[in-house]
Structure 1
Amino acid sequence: MSKQTVETVSGPKALTRTELARLANDLRLACMRISRRVRYESDLLLPPHQFSVLSRLESAPKTNSELAEIERVTAPSMKRTTNVLVEAGYVARADDPEDGRQVILSLTPEGLKTLKRIRRHRDEWMLQRFEGLTEEEHALLASVRDVLLKVASE
């Protein structure tokens, strides 16, 4: 296994497996904390699990079973979530024309409007935190972004 390197003031430095494990732990914790804070502090209108369902419906209508599988929850749990979203006017139900036992769920215009509003709030929440950073920290975040996206996609 090859050693990872990290750029230091004196040049690249190989990280030991222990140092790499510590870095992985620290970054995992930081990502989890940021994710949690963005979800819970940036918008109080919709719980995170409901927001996630709206996001999943943005690309295409889906059944409760499909949503449950994507979100990795039970079908009854997903049905409770989508019932709340239907009652709030964010999601519409329609009979599946190919299978009368299935119900197709889709985003309503109000659901799409709410989804976009929450995303704007979340982006604004992050932007406010970035505004207090230095130019060097902004540059570092820009370079780390691509690495984190690569890690997240694997």
Structure 2
Amino acid sequence: MDSVSEYRSEVGEVMDYIRHIFKALRVSSSQFEKELGLSAAQIFVMKKLKMEPGLSINDLALRTTTHQSSVSVVVKKLEEQGLVSRTVSQEDSRKVVVSLTPSGLDKLGEIPRTVQEEMIEALQKMNPEKTAVLAQVMKEFVFNAGIIEGNAPMFGEDNR
């Protein structure tokens, strides 16, 4: 195979992997929306709050590996549904923390693992050098493709 054919084959392979990722996220998110009335991002945040109750928006952003503005949008939607509440921290009155409500805890009992959880776990299991290379390659790819606009929303949220 000549170098042009090899390059085209590798480009096609990369695009196939990207399509697989998007399909998995789309199918998972629409399934959750249909069955539970929640986006994959909302479920992901709720699961983090179950593991660590009383997190700030910044803490949630760290735990969900996304930007705090994206998490704020998700938390607001969950709050509107009565699944989470915001309260002043007992340790620091300047800090607001987010917690699951009893309704939120009940709703979580119905929810399986998300694709995001599986993806993050797979990345965490990878060799750190490979993860660093992947991060750099992905950054270069999205910048060269011109698809970065501000902060990325959480998977399953379009922040409209």
| TM-score class, shorter | 0.5 to 0.7
Residue from 101, 106, 123 that aligns with 1:108: 101
Q: What are the superposed Cα offsets for residues 46-90 of structure 1, whole Å, 9 maximum, x if unpaired? A: 123322211221210211121234342244x53343233223221
Unaligned runs of 5+ in 1: 1-15, 124-148
Maintained 8 Å contact 1:58/1:112: yes
Local SS of the residue matching 1:105: strand
User: What one-letter code is carried by the residue in structure 2 that aligns with 1:54?
Assistant: M
Q: Distance in 2 between matches of 1:67 and 1:150?
A: 20
TM-score (norm 1): 0.55
Q: Distance in 2 between matches of 1:27 and 1:96?
A: 43
Q: Which has the higher contact order (CA 8 A, sep 6+)?
A: 2
Local SS of the residue matching 2:90: coil
The two structures, once aligned, show a CA RMSD in angstroms of 3.1
Q: Distance in 2 between matches of 1:41 and 1:104?
A: 29
What is the number of equivalent residue pairs in this alignment? Answer: 112
Cross-structure match for 1:86? 79
After TM superposition, the structure 1 = structure 2 runs for residues 46-125 of structure 1, keeping only pairs within 5 Å, are: 46-61=38-53, 62-69=55-62, 70-75=64-69, 77-119=70-112
25-34 or 59-68: bigger deviation = 25-34
Cross-structure match for 2:125? 153
Q: What are the superposed Cα offsets for residues 112-132 of structure 1, whole Å, 9 maximum, x if unpaired? A: 222332428x89xxxxxxxxx
Maintained 8 Å contact 1:43/1:118: no
Identity %: 25
TM-score (norm 2): 0.53
Q: Distance in 1 between matches of 2:7 and 2:123?
A: 18
| Compared CA separation, residues 52 and 150, structure 1 to 2 (3 A) | closer
